[in-house]
Amino acid sequence: RKNEKKGKHTTNDLLSITNGTCYIMDCEECNSVICLDWREICDGKIDCSNGLDEYHCYNLEKNECNPDSEYRYSNGQCIDKILYRNHYYDCMDDSDETVFLSKSCNFFDPLMHCENYPCHSLLFSCGDGHCYNGPNVQSTDRCETQRDRLYFNQMPSSTLILYSHIHLIYNDMKPELIRFNQTSNELTCRLYNTFTDEKYTNFDDMLKDVKRFVRSCSLLQQNSHNCSLFQCNDQSKCLSYHRLLDGVADCANEEDEYHPNSCSFQIPYRFACDNGTRCISQRLVFDRILHCSDKDDGHARHFHACRDHMTDQCRTYQGKAPRFDFTFSELCNGIIDRMSNISNDTDESHCDKTEWPCSTYYNDCNHVWNCPDGSDGLNTCLGFNGKLTFLHCNNTMHFCLDIQHGFPICLPKERANDGIINCVGSIDEQEFCRLKYPGKSIRGFRCNESDICIQRHQICNCHQDCPNNDDETTACVWLNNGQATSCDPNKFRCRDGRYTDNNNCNDLRLCSDGEHNLFCQQCNVGIYVRTTTNPPEFFCLCTSYYYGDRCQFQRKRITIMLKLDIGNFIDNHIPIFKFVILLVRHNTTSSILFHEQFIYTPQKHCLPRYTTELLYPITDLSLSFLNHSIYIHVFIANTLQHFVSWHFPVSFEFLPVRRIVKQLLVMNISKFTSTVTIDFPNCTSCSNDSLCLGYDIDLDREICLCPWHRTGRRCLITFNPCRNYSCNDHGSIDQFICDCYPTKNFFE
């Protein structure tokens, strides 16, 4: 496998390193088997016990794009028709193209494409862009992220939970019973042999049959009398006609994949065969399976779209997604991670502990104590101090260093969180640091006889951080193993004398006794970085898609992709343009949630494409459906005169990740007559000769549009683009842009 060839973590290590990321459902408790990945919102199956993840999704089924000007992709969203088959992947599912470039997506090499790739209906999300007909840890197509293994770890032995409310009870490869809820109060059990008397030799075959039998139960019961779309024969589902013959069976008897006259529905962008009676999805053409009776979909003329069936290029063409996915703890888990900036409410407010057991399927072995005594991390957990417990103690005790002399002890779980500090760093009494530093779980080491909690890297670093210096004395007795303390801030010394990188929480195989994981925390996604300060500090540097002190939460966002066309300018004096993109919320008043700026130089870039992310506030509730719009304003760079604007309303607010793709035609400047003035009158921080376009809530500052001779976020820095010294003698000027000399390794 790719990660093994690189000499990185083997797949057996992953769940010890990270329990992943999740998309938080704030309004109600989801109560899924494991925390949701954003791809599990509107994926055609219930993941939350109350069906919360599939609320409002019928709006996507009903949505129709304008066939004259738009292309509709699998989840109901639209792109401009002019972008269809333009050799760029404009749809999130790539269905707008037939010839695909080779892609590679996995946990270790996340790409923007993988981060934003959704799963097709009913598939299991690995959290990294890879989706398959799982979960099944025995499958060759299983998750590299091991999210499927985590799913099984959270279930009782010999039990498989599907669609949150269907339980398959099996013994080895022999399925015995299917238990499910027909209504919220009625529990129904059926012997498996009432479905089939098939004998199974592998789990994959059994899983496929089970999913086929219960496919009609993947969604909440719908009102069959109000269905104006395609309805399954058993009236269990009401589907968009675009789901017919798309390669994914949604109905229990698969009638959506065997409709005899699908062309009669006049679904656009389909491949017609069988004398114009059968219209199949374009991604089924030449997929090595014949879907048409006349075999036209397997004709060699389609070979250019899939020349090598083993490549990622062909997998994508076949609708098999590339690689990417993760998970994390739920709300009401006993740990304060988030606090409202409006009230004093936290993610633990209003949580009745009699209704919220501390040990559940989805938080056992998540490397965090959810139960006061830490018992949820003692069974078969191998991560962080769990691995130390596994190596040195039994499953009823916690490994730690004795508070008196610093040597290892196995502390009975009954003495954990009993109000008496027995372990160095007070790791047996974790509640104090959690409450004092909410949302900062990296501060997990409490100084002795103090209310100060410090970080892992501050221990045994030859710098006193605790008042009693116990971070350099008692805590180091066992770690130093009789040696003098190592003061190298860039190295961590194992007890056997070997040295490793100080970034020691990123691999569990560095030290044989597991001591490098003592007091550790971990970045789920992003980079664990070290500051240059003395003493150094460490924190998680998250990508824009994630937030949290360990990058554990997935952020709601919109990807906007713009293709610019300059139009028919009749002279060579084409101006340089400044684009400003605003994500605006319309409530009682309009407010700017996020913004981006870029410069467009037509003389230098012909028909360019720009991609950027617009992020929602992390304090937003996931099901808060306020109205939003995207505004794009264009200004002439040297005068800041407004040139043209576009306004695009944002649809489907219940989706965590969306994409808006537009081709924008910049009109002929000779016809330019706009007299519109765009300026925010109450600006206080921008320079007097700049434009203030409003206040960015995310950045907590005003949006300043600088004139040609100024730069900086407030336009207070002088910049003369007509003189070479503006590029520090390391480049040349080209219309407000420094062209750097590539052979001299200079950058802006």
pLDDT at 346: 66
pLDDT at 287: 77
| pLDDT tens track for 4-32 | 333 333 334 455 445 668 888 754 578 88
Decide if pLDDT at 110 tops 60. no
Q: For residue 744, what pLDDT band results from cuts at 50, 70 and 90? A: very low
Instruction: For residues 725-738, give the mean pLDDT.
Output: 54
Other residues' Cβ atoms within 10 Å of the Cβ of residue 93? 20
Torsion, CA 738, CA 742, CA 745, CA 748, rounded to 10: 20
Query: What is residue 390's three-state secondary structure?
Result: helix
pLDDT at 39: 94
DSSP 344-408: S-BTTTT--TTTS-SS-TTTTTSSS--STT-GGGSSS--STHHHHHHHHS-TTEEEEEBTTT--E
Q: For residue 234, what pLDDT band results from cuts at 50, 70 and 90? A: confident
Decide if pLDDT at 224 tops 90. no
| pLDDT tens track for 686-717 | 999 999 999 999 889 999 999 988 888 999 98
pTM of the predicted structure, to 2 decimals: 0.71
pLDDT at 622: 64
pLDDT at 668: 57
pLDDT at 274: 92
Decide if pLDDT at 100 tops 70. no
Decide if pLDDT at 153 tops 60. yes
Instruction: For residues 369-381, give the mean pLDDT.
Output: 73
Say which residue, 50 or 487, is predicted with more confidence: 50
Architecture of the domain whose range is 555-718: Sandwich (2.60)
- Nearest alpha carbon to residue 331 among 112, 25, 8: 25
Instruction: For residues 568-581, give the mean pLDDT.
Output: 76
| Residue in this structure with the two tokens 């030290």, named with its chain if needed | 511
Decide if pLDDT at 164 tops 60. yes
* Boundaries of every domain in the chain: 555-718
Of the ranges 255-264, 361-370, 404-413, 427-436, which one carries the lowest mean pLDDT score? Answer: 361-370
Q: For residue 463, what pLDDT band results from cuts at 50, 70 and 90? A: confident
Decide if pLDDT at 570 tops 70. no
| pLDDT tens track for 314-364 | 444 444 443 333 333 446 666 655 555 445 666 667 677 666 677 766 566
pLDDT at 540: 82
Q: For residue 280, what pLDDT band results from cuts at 50, 70 and 90? A: very high
Q: Percent of the chain at pLDDT above 70?
A: 73
Of the ranges 117-121, 282-286, 537-541, 649-653, which one carries the lowest mean pLDDT score? Answer: 537-541
Say which residue, 318 or 237, is predicted with more confidence: 237
pLDDT at 339: 55
Say which residue, 491 or 733, is predicted with more confidence: 491
Classify residue 288 by burial, with Cβ atoms within 10 Å: 0-12, 13-18, 19+: exposed
Decide if pLDDT at 673 tops 50. no
pLDDT at 706: 93
Query: What is residue 419's three-state secondary structure?
Result: coil
Give the integer Cα–Cα distance in Å for 215 and 253.
Answer: 9
pLDDT at 47: 92
Give the integer Cα–Cα distance in Å for 144 and 155.
Answer: 20
* 315-340 as b/e: b if 16+ CB within 10 A: bbbbbbbbbbbbbbbbbbbbbbbbbe
Please give the radius of gyration of the chain, using alpha carbons only, rounded to the nearest integer. Answer: 29
Say which residue, 292 or 103, is predicted with more confidence: 292
Give the integer Cα–Cα distance in Å for 274 and 195.
Answer: 34
Q: Percent of the chain at pLDDT above 90?
A: 25
Decide if pLDDT at 367 tops 80. no
Give the integer Cα–Cα distance in Å for 175 and 193.
Answer: 8
pLDDT at 315: 45
Decide if pLDDT at 34 tops 60. yes
